[in-house]
Chains A and B, each alone.
Chain A
Amino acid sequence: MEAPEAVRANPFVPYLATVKEITDLTPDVKLFSIELNDEAARKSFDYKPGQFAFLSAFGVGESAFGLTSVAYRNSGIEFAIRRVGTVSSALHELEPGATVGVRGPYGNFFPMDEYKGKNIVIIGGGIGMAPLRPVIDTIIDHRDDFGNLTIINGARTPRDLVFASEFEAWSEAKDTNVVLTVDAGDDSWTGRVALIPAVVKELKPSHHNAVAITCGPPIMIRFTLAALKELGFSNEQIVTTLEGKMKCGMGKCGRCNVGEKYVCVDGPVFNFAQISKFIEQF
């Protein structure tokens, strides 16, 4: 019997998808390249930098992950996933060819059009680089639309820098400066050993005609915010993407609210003018 319209429209039902490629990015982060099985769905699945989707490991569950790829390249949906919880661990066990579920995209996005002509400072810590990568890719693919690009990327150790294989391509782009830092170096590391906020203070990016986009652990975001404010960035000029426990992505499950705001529908992208009005801590 044909299912009623309302059932087929059940927003919890994911698209079936196939894992095409799995790449180790760090000892605990893998990049999953995924293709939706249904051709029509593949064509209609459009998303913007900063949006997220739920990825299902059937039998274990689903979790929300930032979309790590850009839609316009049409080269598959990518997620950079750190092995932390039950679902991410199950996903890490998968092999190419595995069937997964994808539902989304959800949430708002980085207003890339508003950033045109501006100098962009990207500040990412650890797996926080995942939702920032589509911002970087968009800028590099449309390099003349934007001003200078500074990428400050930190991680616990050199092995934990998630997009290491892409640093060279990024720094070869016009007017682009990639600055790496780690909390603790190793024998082969000759770069910076410093916390991200300290690097921001040292580099002193100008706030004139600039926007700073940051993502990382809450503690890093707090100190990075303070460093940027010291440099003269206004709350409106500092943008972040927040994380929250999520079960639906539609403002219903009541998990990700910060005060009356739902990270899943009002966010995940907020500027600090908005965040400073939050009644609760994120």
Chain B
Amino acid sequence: MIVSNLEVVPGKRTTRHFGLVQGSSVRAKHVGRDIMASLKNIFGGELKGYTELLQESREEAFNRMLEQAKATGANAVLNVRFSTSSIAAGAAELFAYGTAVTLE
């Protein structure tokens, strides 16, 4: 499965379009991590716990998108975009979408 945020892949030709595929994941933060984060809010610096949390949930959204692409029979996802939105205090939605295509 080729995944790219470009519209074309060098050396390959798009033969079929399957339309939009998407995946999303909503995560809430962990209390333990929140305590660490509030300490870091005094000293400044990277919040590693949050970085990991967001990375994991973005990966989940990404994998859901890939599953959808596989189910349609595509062999690549082009023009992938990510978006983040906070829907409530302490919870964030991570969203990944792209176009499923067949490349030759």
- Judge: A and B partners, yes or no: no
- Chain A contact residues, CB within 8 Å of chain B: none
- The chain B residues found within 8 Å of chain A, CB to CB, are none
